[in-house]
Amino acid sequence: MPARRGSSRRRWLAALALLALAAIAATGCSEVESEEATGYEPVSLQPVAGSGGKQQVTFSEEAAERTGLETALVGNAEGNAVVPYASLLYGPTGETFVYTQTEPLSYVREDVKVDRIDGDRVVLSVGPARGTEVVTIGVAEVYGAELEIAGDH
pLDDT in tens, 23-57: 444 445 445 554 455 678 899 999 999 988 899 99
In 3D space, the residue among 77, 88, 76 whose CA is nearest the CA of residue 130 turns out to be 76
Measured torsion, CA atoms of residues 131, 113, 91, 116, in degrees rounded to the nearest 10 = -90
Question: Which of the residues in the chain have pLDDT under 70?
Answer: 1-38, 150-153
Fold of 43-146: 2.40.420
pTM of the model: 0.73
The answer to whether 37 touches 91, Cβ cutoff 8 Å, is no
In 3D space, the residue among 37, 83, 93 whose CA is nearest the CA of residue 62 turns out to be 37
- What is the reported pLDDT for 40? 80
Q: Domain limits of the chain?
A: 43-146
